[in-house]
Amino acid sequence: MTRPLDGITVVSLEHAIAAPFCTRQLADLGARVIKVERPGAGDFARAYDTRVKGQASHFVWTNRSKESLTLDLKQPAALAALKELLATADVLVQNLAPGAAARMGLGFDALSKEHPRLIVCDISGYGEDGPYRDKKAYDLLIQSEAGFLSVTGTPDDPCKSGNSIADIAAGMYAYTGVLAALLQRGKTGRGSHIDVSMLEALGEWMGYPMYYAFDGAPPPPRSAAAHATIYPYGPFAAGDGGTVMLGLQNEREWKAFCDVVLQDAALATDPRFDANARRNEHREALKAIILATFGALSTAQVLARLDKAQIANARMNDMAGLWAHPQLKARSRWQSVGSPAGEIPALLPPGRNSSFDYRMDAVPGVGQHTEAILRELGQSDAAIAAMRAAQAI
């Protein structure tokens, strides 16, 4: 089947997570993604860990279906090859240090003069202007600047998210920004510049707590894994050591929860608990009642009662539980992709589409496609050998 981005070429000067996550999703839709890496070590995310058959977990997640081209852009021959490659490209994505791409003549203003259809997407911590432009920006730092840490964790301690949420947010907005720019180019015939900042991406995701604290109002309190303002809504231990997550949304569900799950219908009209505001105020007393009931039941029994009462619930899975999740298996969400260390499992991208299959090709080795790409550009074997001898590739 024809994929939406078949025939689109993306060149990416990328490392770590935000830009690679953006471009991997473009590759999922059929784009040819050429990942430019440093000769030798390549993207430094390749060395984050060795969890996946000796390969880094971050890297295998965000880099399948790409081609790896190694270029030392400090050397004129390598930079010239990159600029020649950009003449054939539709999109340039980069998350180098602030200003680094522009200093090499790879900014939108310079490139658009020669390649008016080229889309340039710059991803940075704080954006291309403003007083924070040149500050270093790592995921945890942006979680802090965006206020995420202030509303996440326990009353005593803030906690970071367990994944790179600021990078992921920026990568998602870069991805959708590129798609929008491609649609716009189809109307105008011209490329455009996309300036994505991690702060603004995660700031958008902070919309609820920001508005909750509107006009100087107190922000949502940190409440660990429980909901800050709705109760009961959060994790509760079962008698067999498992943990069940449940959430009540209204008074009808509260009555069903008392009757079917706690098997104490009278509790529904207890003046301490007969409205969400009062349940939230007396959450410690209600928590003790819930835990006393759940403590006599297994996790499966608690879940069965919640399902019978039509109360939203989930088992608190660990990573092993996610790997083995029966719903993912039933929907055939796992495929196998190649890598330098052999086949590895990979989740299909979210969202089935009846008109095409996602691209699920191998994770590349460092510089695996360098010579083939240079030959496409017309470089001779002698020129390629000279570049390799100079460690330009």
Q: Tokens 């083939």 — which residue? A: 372
Final residue of a structural domain among 273, 301, 316 = 316
pLDDT surpassing 90 at residue 30: yes
* CA atoms of 104 and 96, how far apart (whole Å): 11
> Residue 208: exposed, middle, or buried by beta-carbon count in 10 A (0-12, 13-18, 19+)?
exposed
Residues 124 and 188 in one domain: yes
CA-based R_g, the chain, Å: 26
pLDDT band with cut points at 50, 70 and 90 for residue 26: very high
Q: Which pLDDT band holds residue 228 (cuts at 50, 70, 90)?
A: confident
181 shares a domain with 103: yes
pLDDT of residue 358: 97
Expressed as residue numbers, the domain containing 244 is 233-316
Q: What integer is the mean pLDDT of 295-305?
A: 97
For residue 315, report the phi and psi dihedrals to the nearest 5 degrees: -80, 135
288-291-292-296 Cα dihedral, nearest 10 degrees: 180
Last residue of a domain, one of 251, 284, 316: 316
Percent of the chain predicted with pLDDT > 90: 96
Confidence bin at 39 (pLDDT 50/70/90): very high
Average pLDDT over residues 87-93: 97
Q: Is the pLDDT of residue 44 over 90?
A: yes
Write out pLDDT tens, residues 142-171: 999 999 999 999 999 999 999 999 999 999
Number of domains forming the structure of the chain: 2
- Determine the average pLDDT of the residues in 213-221: 94
Say yes or no: 311 and 345 in one domain: no
What distances in angstroms separate CA 384 from CA 13, 43, 83, one per listed residue?
A: 21, 21, 16
Q: What is the predicted pLDDT for the residue at 335?
A: 97
Within this chain, do residues 296 and 357 fall inside the same structural domain, yes or no?
no
Under DSSP, the state recorded for 297 is: S
Among residues 311, 353, 258, the alpha carbon closest in space to that of 29 is found at 353
Residue 226 lies in a domain: no
Average pLDDT over residues 266-293: 96
For the chain, report the end-to-end CA distance as a whole number of angstroms: 35
21-49: average pLDDT? 97
DSSP assignment string, 4-70: TTTT-EEEEE--SSHHHHHHHHHHHTT-EEEEEE-TTT-SGGGGS--TBTTB-HHHHHH-TTEEEEE
66, pLDDT greater than 90:
yes
Angstrom distances, CA of residue 334 to CA of 62, 186, 224, 321, 328? 16, 34, 32, 14, 7
Pairing of strands 193-197, 66-70: unpaired
Kindly state the tokens that stand for 295. 């403590």
Over range 105-111, report the average pLDDT: 96
* 130 lies in some domain: yes
307 and 361, same structural domain?
Answer: no
User: Same domain for 73 and 200?
Assistant: yes
Q: Is the pLDDT of residue 78 over 90?
A: yes
CB atoms within 10 A of CB 301: 15
The pLDDT-based confidence of 231 (bands split at 50, 70, 90) is very high
On the question of pLDDT at 117 being above 90, the answer is yes
pLDDT at residue 367, as a whole number: 97
Nearest to 300 by CA among 210, 238, 354: 238
Does 218 map to a domain? no
Cβ burial 5-34 (10 Å sphere, 16+ → b, else e): beebbbbbbbbbbbbbbbbbbbbbbbbbbb
Backbone phi, then psi, for 299, in 5-degree steps?
Answer: -60, -45
Is 323 part of a structural domain of the chain?
no
CATH number of the domain that residue 312 is part of = 3.30.1540.10
Residue 247: inside a domain? yes
Side-chain-side CA neighbours of 348 within 13 Å: the count stands at 15
Beta bridge partners of 175: none
pLDDT, residue 368, reads 98
183 and 53 together in one domain: yes
Q: Are residues 145 and 109 in the same domain?
A: yes
pLDDT band at 43 (very low <50, low <70, confident <90, very high): very high
State yes or no: pLDDT of 35 exceeds 90: yes
Is the domain of 289 the same as that of 346? no
158-196 exposure pattern, b = at least 16 Cβ within 10 A, e = fewer: eebeeebbbbbbbbbbbbebbeebbeebeeeeebbbbbb
pLDDT at 287 over 90: yes
Q: How high is the pLDDT of residue 17?
A: 96
- Domain with residue 98: its CATH number is 3.40.50.10540
Strand partners for 52: 55
Looking at residue 1, its pLDDT comes to 84
Model pLDDT, residue 176: 98
Same domain, 283 and 366: no
Same domain for 141 and 263?
A: no
Do 119 and 267 share a structural domain?
A: no
H/E stretch holding 196 reads strand 193-197
Contact 293, 237 (CB under 8 A): no
Query: What is the model's pLDDT at position 229?
Result: 85
Domain membership of residue 322 (yes or no) is no
Query: Where residue 297 falls among pLDDT bands split at 50, 70, 90?
Result: very high
264 located within any domain = yes
Report if residue 326 sits inside a domain. Answer: no
Query: To the nearest whole number, what is the mean pLDDT of the chain?
Result: 96
- At a CB cut-off of 8 Å and minimum separation 6, what does 364 contact? 35, 63, 66, 67, 68, 340
